[in-house]
Amino acid sequence: MKQYITLDPWKIIEDSFNPEHHQITESLMSIGNGRMGQRANNPETYNGDTLKGNYIAGVYYPDKTRVGWWKNGYPEYFAKVLNSLDWVKKEVRIDDQLIDLSTSAITSYKRWLDMQEGILYRDIALQLESGKSVNIHTERFYSIADQDRCFIKYSIKAVDHEINVTITDHLDFNVRNSDSNYDEDFWEDRSQGFQNQYGYISAKTKKTDFLVAASFDSQLIIDDKAIESTKDLSTGEVSHRFNFSLQPNQTAEHVKSVAICSSFYYDKSEVLDKAINQVKDPIHDYSSHKQKHILAWAKRWQSCDIKIAGDVSAQQGIRFNIFQLYQTYSGEDSRLNIGPKGFTGEKYGGSTYWDTEAYCLPFYMSTGSQEIAKNLLIYRHNHLAKAIDNATLLGFEKGAALYPMVTINGEECHNEWEITFEEIHRNGAIAFAIYNYIRYTGDQDYLISHGLDVLIGIARFWAQRVHRSPSTGLYVMMGVTGPNEYENNVDNNWYTNYIARWCLQYTRECIDKIRKNTSDKWTLLKANNSIEETELDRWADIISQLYLPKDEETGLFIQHDGYLDKEDLTVEDLREKDRPINQNWSWDRILRSPFIKQADVLQGLYFFEDHFTKEQIKTNFDYYEPKTVHESSLSPCVHSILASSLGLKDKAYEMYLRTARLDLDNYNNDTEDGCHITSMAGTWMSIVEGFAGMRVRDGRLSFAPVIVDSWDSYSFKINFRGKLLELSVDKARCSINNHSDQPIETAIFDKVLVVEAQEQVSFALQG
């Protein structure tokens, strides 16, 4: 695997400037604070390959969708997270030479993202055309202490000769998405100006009418003396220009303080004033803002860090994934969700997929407050009416709900028919997340206040999506795409059928519980949802008679009807030049092949592990894993967790590294598009649910830890129902430390025990 960065437990380090993979490291060193973020674009002019990207949470555009066929229910647009203003842009001239990193002579280059501090640093040395040498140091961050604020410090040092320098420092709103259809410009009504020394700029989106405004203060200091600037304005751009000279060994320090505000958070009438007033605030200088930001990250790491001793590659991987997750989504706002690329790129456009419920929810439940996970579920409840509208467009009735495959505002905006209409298992992941949240938190009130409304809508969809087969008398589900997107329009996908049956069963169980224990609330829910006994009886009939394809002789759960008729090949039969097949094969060839993009049957075995014996799980793992190409970022973690539970430590570790370093090592040759944010939670799951064997059973956490041969130890903390536990595992022992002020009942290796407040228990490691 090609190395793009240096191994380090806390840093992502680029030791030299490599234009051929510049966009990859732009993705890897992206920074953000949950409210906004950007790719790691160099601030100076760069005329090489680059994807300049700055993104603001909640601000989107309904871009035109290109299809030659239009079907009833087809989405009218493809939502785009918008490239917003470029606030780091600088034009730097030294002795009249424009510094362009694609052509300038770079004698040394080091860039590093310090994940512990949340700051992107860079040191470069240049040799000018005149032969003079110059050193440049930069550091920048999006503050997680003040979420409208971002900062960059830019220092130039003359090494051996006097130099004359001009720095023009910009806010530039002349931006465009790299993937906009028809080269459309999404921003309009740009305006710019100055209030005293504070430059400002604003623009609004077409159609969606979001207003974004930014203001900046730009100061340049040489030997404690401030250098005056010239103010410049042009369409969509505002800038400060500094002209100065430096003597050998003299340094100029340029600090830019920026506030970016949007109408997603503020009333339109106050957006611009909010931005200007925040920059005007003289209370904190750059150093104090930086320190507040570092301390905020330190507090965050206290609860979410996973420590691995003895394996720097594994350690770097897990911290990178945790860092990107928490700088993408912080959980305060139920209107927001987690985009598959976060603030690192534009691919996938929409705000949320089923990745959130299946992968991200467990991470945020365990590393943050209960409210963070609850907000992710409330997001779906808020969009229930649109999910019902979506199903109605497709011909469903009586409140059936089909949640979108891709959405920003609750409307479907995915533009591939085999996904939009057929990949309906996403409904099941949302229902499972409700169950998973209640199981983990014990928050039964959520079921009544929000959860059951969603469950009923989803159950009604499944009940109408199946029909009774005339030949077998069993209920079947035709024309679907399972999690394995390398199979379209198949019949009776085992995972989809299984999770549909489970959804119906779980919804009935919830209804029965509420009917039995809180009759007054049941009466209200029944009336609000127009529930009839005949409907519940039909659900029961489907539950008992839904077809699940299975090979009775081998015990194999068949991925879908006809799958066993495919050519019996495994990944080992592929040539190196074929990989990844989604970039080297025709779609026709992929669809006819037996190769699996991501966990499909195994996704169901992961979700519903307790429904199956170890022998059943092993039979299906041994058959399907060798056929899986893992060309979805969501795939390796499920295989790692299942492999751990089966005692296959080498396979579990192989799959862990693949999920942990998917972007860092560019496994699927697509990191330049941005990082795979939502699947990063799977890296955390691979350790916590995989190697540590964490499960929630009978209302308590249980653990069955193992340790990888190459690791000396690992440890992590878990928030569970208001209590904070720490699990530590080394070669010989594992221990549970209760950091809470109350005792907690837990289980380890199936032995139930009580860990008293502020105490630790320890066990010999089994196996």
Question: Torsions phi, psi of 751, nearest 5?
Answer: -95, 120
**Is pLDDT above 70 for 282?**
no
DSSP letter at 350 equals S
CA 461, chain centre distance (Å)? 28
Contact by Cβ (8 Å): 377, 451 = yes
In the predicted structure, residue 261 carries a pLDDT above the cut 80: yes
CA atoms within 13 A on the CB side of 735: 12
Query: Residue 67: which pLDDT band, with cuts at 50, 70 and 90?
Result: low
What CA–CA distance (Å, rounded) separates 605 from 613? 10
- Predicted local confidence at residue 430, as pLDDT: 98
Q: What is the mean pLDDT of residues 167-185?
A: 87
The pLDDT value given to residue 26? 96
Average pLDDT over residues 385-410: 94
How confident is the model over 181-196, as a mean pLDDT? 89
pLDDT value of residue 164 = 98
Residues with catalytic roles: 485
Of the candidates 26, 289, 269, 331, the residue with the CA atom closest to the CA atom of residue 148: 289
Confidence of residue 68 (pLDDT cuts 50, 70, 90): low
Count the alpha carbons within 13 Å of 417 in the hemisphere toward its beta carbon. Answer: 12
Q: Are strands 744-748 and 700-703 parallel, antiparallel or unpaired?
A: parallel
pLDDT of res. 352: 86
User: Does residue 605 have a pLDDT over 80?
Assistant: yes
On average, the pLDDT of the chain sits at: 94
Average pLDDT over residues 468-484: 97
Cα three-residue angle 535-550-359, rounded to 5 degrees: 70
CB-based burial of residue 677 (10 Å sphere; 0-12 exposed, 13-18 middle, 19+ buried)?
buried
Cβ atoms of residues 238 and 286 within 8 Å: no
What CATH fold (topology level) applies to the domain 11-301? Beta-galactosidase; Chain A, domain 5 (2.70.98)
The CA distance from 113 to 562, in Å, is 49
In the prediction, which pLDDT does 332 show? 85
Q: What is the mean pLDDT of residues 116-123?
A: 98
Phi, psi of 764 (to 5 degrees): -70, 140
287: which strand partners? none
CATH 2.70.98.40 residue window(s) in the chain: 11-301
The average pLDDT across 558-575 equals 97
Least confident of 284-288, 291-295, 612-616, 714-718: 284-288
Query: 74 falls in which pLDDT band (50, 70, 90)?
Result: confident
Please give the average per-residue pLDDT across 327-347, as a whole number: 90
SS3 call for 358: helix
CA distance 27 to 546: 45
pLDDT (tens digit, 9 = 90+) per residue, 307-324? 999 999 999 999 999 999
Is a pLDDT exceeding 80 seen at residue 69?
Answer: no
Give me the residues paired with residue 737 across strands: 726, 760
* More confident position, 178 or 684: 684
> Which pLDDT score is estimated for 1?
59
pLDDT at residue 767 in the model: 64
| 630 to 515, 634, 646, 673, 717: CA distances (angstroms) | 44, 8, 19, 18, 29
Domain with CATH 2.60.420.10 in the chain: 692-767
SS3 at position 603: helix
CA-to-CA distance for 403 and 388, rounded, in angstroms? 8
pLDDT at 421: 87
d(CA 703, CA 691): 9
Position 644 scores a pLDDT of: 97
Find all residues with CB under 8 Å of 107, minimum gap 6, and list them: 125, 126, 127, 133
Could you confirm whether domain 692-767 is CATH 3.40.190.10? no
What is the predicted pLDDT for the residue at 396?
Answer: 96
Q: Kindly tell me if the per-residue pLDDT of 414 is higher than 90.
A: no
d(CA 213, CA 263): 9
Whether the link from the prior residue into 626 is cis, omega within 30° of 0, is: no
Rg (CA), the chain: 27
CA dihedral 707, 708, 714, 716 (to 10 degrees): -80
Distance (Å, whole) CA 483 – CA 679: 14
DSSP state of 228: P
Our CA angle for 127, 131, 132, nearest 5°, is 70
Q: Which two tokens stand for residue 296?
A: 């905020």
Distance CA 279, CA 291 (A): 17
Tell me the pLDDT tens digit for each residue of 214-229.
Answer: 999 999 999 999 999 9
Report whether pLDDT(766) > 90.
no
pLDDT score at 418? 80
